[in-house]
Chains A and B, each alone.
Chain A
Amino acid sequence: MRASTEEGEYNDKMGILTNPNTDDTNRLVKLLQGKGGAFGLVCYLAGIVWLIFLANADYNLGTYFSENALLPGLVVENFDGAYYAEEFTKELFQLDTDYNGKIPPHEFEAFFHRLGLVETELQNYTITDLISKRKEDEGTGTNVFAVLRAKRAAGTESIVFNAPYFPKNKQISRRNLAGIGIMFALADYFRHQVYWAKDIVFLISEAHLGSLAWVKGHQEIMEDWSSSVFRFDNVHTKAGNIQASVNFIMEATDVCSLQSKFHGINGQLPNLDLVNLLNKFIVLDHEKRPDWPEADVKKLFSFMQMQSTGTPSGSHGFFLKYGIESVTLVGKTSKNCKARNPVSYSDIGRILEATFRSLNNLLERLHQSFFFYLKTTPNRFISIGLYFPPIALILFPIALKAATIWLSKQGLNTTRGLFTLMGLHAHAIFLRWVLNNLNWILLPFLTTAIPGAEIRTNVFASICGGLLLTILSFSIFLHWNVEKEIREAIYCFCLLELATGLYCLALFNPSLVVFIGVVVSPLVTFLFFWDMPEKQRYWAKALLLSIFVGVAYDWLGLDGLIYFVNKYYYESEVYGNFLFELGWIGGGVLILGVFIGGLI
């Protein structure tokens, strides 16, 4: 009896809950309309504050090793070839002057042969100027590498030791000759050790681009030689499955501090274990203390700035795409370094030896530790579990606004709204194509019209033309008299897409999303949508938008804009750095959509 009465009550309650005619939704809508903006603002600010707090050592995590097979610090480093390293460096400096600043690759090969590494190969690459695409503007380079085969292994696994050579650098001390010298000394030392379980590839890549050519030539097959702007030979001496790569650069002959670099293309990061491994060897004990909090925030900011651009911070960035965990060890110099007790070559050699021996111990690929993290100091990190909630909070107002519109406006014209949105997207894609191709379509005309003008200025002119076209076409949208229902639908869908897109992007590149979110989130939600008479609101928004554009322009400047456009055009063509562009341009298109929807 009792059970049946309970069931009856239950059903009644369910009926109340699911009844669409109840006032509950209206109450929620009223709450959202009344307090939604304030709540969104609180979320936004809380997200930013939370993120800043994460930089503090009290709120983030200390680094640790997840992969026990690395056994860092357990090996006793025996490298004693500092004298040879210095001799090799001297010899390389002599060669560099003999050959007028560019040591030919066969000299490097001769070095390897002298060290007893017979399995060597040269690899050429060519990069055509992206804009002119002329034969005269081609740059070429040659990589040299040698493979040290592990005694008992069947050549299935390997580690890459890369010391890039920068012959184009004007200062001889910055051509990384010291780095190559230390690598030769280590190659000599490594060859006589019996413990190697993985092959070691000693690579002298010509500039950072050489590393890209090498890894592409080793992991991919060049299909069509004629069409590409970046052409390279295939690497024939294969080194099996590359487990990790360590890049090494000495910024001067005498260095005073060592640094690890690890930012890859599109903000991709290597496994944290590898970064920790190198940091463990290079960070001295007294440096392990967390600094004052402001410095940590600055460090976090610079990390995020670096990651958000999507530009790799060195040769290591090119390896990550192929699943090869990679870091760069950089020897940094400073004023009066020579007087201030520089780091000895034997210490540097031992750090590298320890790194390689630890990597040699690996049984599996580096997979245990984090791939998504932010770092402040070498011994602290912010894992994805820590940084994602504040990012979600920063973006939350966008989703909240979309929900408010969806719930409050009955009878949105969804079909026509969606079609308009699709039109907007198609338009954006078309314009992107125009921007990408306008320069070389217009280039011949411009060079004839303004003879003697620099190519890049012409390119900029054509890009400006493309941008003008964009703004014109969008202003047609702006003056288009659309019905209120459609506008609201566009507004709602744009916000939804923006929120979804940014949340997805945050999985790949959190830093980029933080910067986009901090700008875009207030822009599309509360900044423009306070209560104001229609006409005043329109002018206020126009004013704000122009201020925003003005500030952005002022910050970048004309040169900055040219630089940015060239840089990203180049990077997306040569090694596929596209997330930065996608994030900002996609965000921009959707902001315009929001304006079309909510502004008019």
Chain B
Amino acid sequence: MMLQREMGTVVGCLFVLQLFHACLLTVHARDSSEVFKESLWIRSLPSGHVYANMEFVLTDLISRHDPDHSRLFPRALLEILNAHNVHELHYTLTQGYWRLHSWGEVENSAPTGAQISAWFASLNETEADNNWKGLTSRLSGLTCASLNFLDKATSVEPMYAYRPHKNIRGVKAPEKLFVRVGHLPRENYCTENLTPWTKLLPCGIMRGISSLLRSKQVFNTHYHSAAIEFYRLEKGVKLKLSLALVLDRPRNPRPQDNFARTVLGSLALFPCHLAKETNVRIWNVTGWNLISPEEINSLKVMDIPTVDVEQKKLIFTPMKYMGGYGQEYGEVIVEMTNHMNDKFLNVLYVEVLPWYIRPYLHTLRMEVTHGGQKLPVPSGDIFHYTPGQDRKLMHKLELDVSIPPKSTITAKFMVEKGHLKWDEYPPDANHGFYLPAARFEVNVTNEDGSSKSNTHKYYSRILLINLSTPDFSMPYNVICLTCTVVALAFGPIHNITTKRLQLNVVVSRKDVLKRFWSKLSRKMVDDDVAEAAGSDVATESSSPLSTTGEPSSSENKVG
């Protein structure tokens, strides 16, 4: 009997499962336009480190992508993007800095900290600002990064930089496309950021290329950068999630050292069946070598060819730093170097400064040096500056320069370091303040100015600068001292101001009858023995201060 019932339950379960599967299959059939491809690039760096880049690309090339139904697209992200009419989104969270001089050219450049830039449709500026605030707040919840601090006062609207993808979907008449960019240089990358990022992947962290990820190893890298890119194209949508890592390569690898285990710290790659393609490529000095996903499990450290120092072909290197001394003024110096032998570089330089670093634009000077010689400064087409406002708007400078081959352009301008209110300092105020990285959009051009290749993006280092900082232990001391003084002073002053001195007659103990009589009549009967005592007459009857609760009125007798 029991067995039969159990059997019935099992059969029922199976039936339900089958039904569910059938439903899934229909969804699958209907929405087969969603494609998921994952790939892994492994390359040695000239410094001897190993560079691993994981890319997860989701595309749906149906022009009317239904936001409520998605098979592979992360719904949590899509809902946010749809709610805010986002047409293009770039989000990066990076720890460390890509060291161009040691590691060579960068593929997906990202500034240290968190950066987010988006193109979205809105009716007007005000709505755009609200939209942006909403987007950053909601993304903040999704990524566990402090993106919610990005609002109108901490973001900028670039005029020439951060141009959208060329096939981005257009908007209808009353709406316009707006762009906003925000950068949080102090944002750290922690496991709490990695976990929600992996949850956006169709296979999660247990399967697919991401199964090679071990958080212990991810956070033991020289550089790691996670990115989310989203495009709403004329035809369909595209989402790209990527993670770049610069890992240590064992100094003297043994022949049996497994790559996945020694370098990535993981067991093996488990296949993800949702992926249409899983590509693993290894750089063998001349080109990318495609291997099958199973091969990565048996890949040895020795199998990854090392790269010579001569192999790093630098195109452009930026350098930004703060010169000067003292806490009043400083000088921001930006050096842009063209490493190409025969090509000009057209660089769009974007500088964003927080309101408390006030640039003196009239002090901006440019200088071109070519091997110790000074060259005339080429004039650019773009010079766009919007001054900031205290606590409301950041300073923004966009300008373009053309750098001759093998030369360096140095741009420098003086800045004034502002004073903050005492509650505007972050925790660990004496640590300093981070300035966002400068962005450089570089086009390789020929002599005639024609450009043929794509725009390369570079970021400078973020800067840590010191502003004048008050001694925060002093307010603490003052508070302690004032509290003590006030506490000590309050009691006596309250007593004196709320009580009246009154003569009270104390009748000798023996005369019981008199005492009884005086108690009844509350009248002065005799001048027997008198002493002054604090009476509660005033406190009880008239003083409004009595409600504040004078604790020890009976103990504070005067006399």
In contact, A365 and B222 (Cβ under 8 angstroms): no
Q: Does B461 contact A (CB under 8 A)?
A: yes
Contact (Cβ within 8 A) B324 A241: no
A-B contact pairs, 11 of them (CB 8 A): A149-B99, A152-B222, A154-B97, A155-B97, A155-B461, A156-B463, A241-B463, A241-B466, A322-B325, A323-B466, A367-B471
The answer, yes or no, to whether B63 is at the interface (CB within 8 Å) is: no
Contact status A220-B434, CB under 8 Å: no
If A154-B96, A157-B464 touch, whether A236 touches B319 (CB-CB below 8 Å) is yes
- Whether B112 lies near A154 (C-beta < 8 A) is yes
Instruction: State which of A118, A151, A236, A368 has its C-beta within 8 Å of the C-beta of B47.
Output: A118
A363 interface residue, CB < 8 Å from B? yes
Please judge, given known A-B contacts A156-B461, A221-B331, A221-B333, whether A363 and B428 are in contact too, CB under 8 Å.
yes
Residue pair B466, A118 in contact (C-beta under 8 Å):
no
Give the residues in chain A near B463, CB-CB below 8 Å.
156, 240-241
Annotate A235-248 by CB proximity to B: 1 below 8 A, 0 otherwise.
Answer: 01010110000000
Q: Is the CB of A365 within 8 A of B324?
A: no
Q: Please, which residues of chain B bring their CB within 8 A of the CB of A153? A: 96
- Tell me, in angstroms, the Cα distance from A221 to B112 when the chains sit together: 25
Given contacts A118-B47, A156-B461, contact A365 B466 (CB under 8 A): yes
A323 touches B325 (CB 8 A): yes
A149-B99, A221-B412, A365-B431 given; A240·B461 CB < 8 A:
yes
Q: What residues of A have a CB within 8 angstroms of the CB of B70 in the complex?
A: none
Residue of B nearest to A69 (CB): B428
Which A residues are within 8 Å of any B CB, using their own CB? 118-119, 149, 151-157, 219-221, 236, 238, 240-241, 321-323, 363-365, 367-368
- Bound together, the chains give a CA A110 to CA B466 distance in angstroms of 35
The residues of B that contact A154 with a CB separation of less than 8 Å are 95-97, 112, 461-462
Give the distance in Å from the alpha carbon of A516 to the alpha carbon of B271 in the complex: 83
Bound CA span A5–B112, Å: 76
User: Counting CB contacts under 8 A, is B28 at the interface?
Assistant: no
Would B325 and A367 count as touching, CB distance under 8 A?
no
Question: Which residue of A is nearest B98, CB measured?
Answer: A154
Known: A153-B96, A156-B112, A221-B333. 15 other contacts (CB 8 A): A118-B102, A119-B102, A149-B99, A152-B95, A154-B97, A155-B461, A156-B464, A157-B464, A221-B323, A238-B319, A238-B461, A241-B432, A364-B429, A364-B430, A368-B473
Instruction: Considering the complex, give the chain A residue whose CB is closest to the CB of B113.
Output: A154
B465 beta carbon closer than 8 Å to chain A: yes
Q: Quick one: given A221-B333, A236-B319, are A241 and B428 in contact (CB under 8 Å)? A: no
Contact bitstring B81-97, A, C-beta under 8 A = 1, else 0: 00000000000000111
State how many angstroms separate the Cβ of A307 from the closest Cβ of chain B.
21
Task: Tell me if B101 counts as interface (CB < 8 A to partner A).
Answer: yes
Contact with A along B325-364 (1 / 0, CB 8 A): 1010001010100000000000000000000000000000
Report the Cα distance A220→B330, complex, angstroms: 9
Name the 9 nearest CB pairs between A and B, nearest first: A364-B430, A154-B112, A154-B97, A241-B464, A156-B464, A367-B430, A364-B431, A322-B325, A238-B321
- B469 touches A (CB below 8 Å): yes
Partner of B222, one of A151, A219, A221, A321: A151
Q: What is the minimal beta-carbon distance from B423 to any residue of chain A, in angstroms?
A: 18
Residues in B with CB closer than 8 Å to A240 are 461, 463-464
CB neighbours of A157 from chain B (8 A):
464
Q: How far is the CA of A322 from the CA of B331 in the complex (A)?
A: 14
Task: Give bound CA distance, A537 to B335, whole Å.
Answer: 69
Give the distance in Å from the alpha carbon of A250 to the alpha carbon of B397 in the complex.
50
User: Given the complex, which residues of B lie within 8 Å of A119, measured CB to CB?
Assistant: 101-102
List of A residues within 8 angstroms of B99 by Cβ: 149, 155
Tell me which of B101, B335, B412, B432 contacts A365 (CB under 8 A). Answer: B432
Interface string of B266-299 (1 = CB under 8 A from A): 0000000000000000000000000000000000
In the bound assembly, the distance between CA atoms of A103 and B325 in angstroms comes to 33
Contacts of B327 in A (CB 8 A): 323
Q: Which residue of A lies closest to B96 (CB)?
A: A154
The answer to whether A219 and B112 touch across the interface, beta carbons within 8 angstroms, is no
CB nearest to B333 among chain A residues? A221
Quick one: given A241-B465, A241-B466, A365-B432, are A321 and B325 in contact (CB under 8 Å)? Answer: yes
Interface residues of B in 211-233 (CB under 8 A from A): 219, 221-222
Q: Which residue of A lies closest to B430 (CB)?
A: A364
Which of B321, B331, B412 has the largest count of A CB atoms less than 10 A from its CB?
Answer: B321
Question: From residue A222, how far is it (CB to closest CB) to chain B in Å?
Answer: 10
- Do B222 and A220 touch across chains, with their CB atoms under 8 A apart? no
Which residues from B are CB-within-8-Å of A323?
Answer: 325, 327, 466
Quick check: B102 and A220 within 8 Å, CB to CB? Answer: no
With contacts A154-B461, A156-B463, A365-B466 taken as known, whether A219 is within 8 angstroms of B323 at the C-beta atoms is yes
In the bound complex, what is the Cα–Cα distance between A506 and B371 (angstroms)?
49
Nearest B residue to A67, CB-CB: B430
Q: How far is the CA of A149 from the CA of B434 in the complex (A)?
A: 19
Chain B residues with CB under 8 Å of A322's CB are 325
CA gap between A154 and B223 in the complex, in Å: 9
Q: How far is the CA of A290 from the CA of B428 in the complex (A)?
A: 36
A224 vs chain B, min Cβ distance (A): 13
Question: Which chain B residues (411-432) contact chain A, with CB distance < 8 Å?
Answer: 412, 428-432
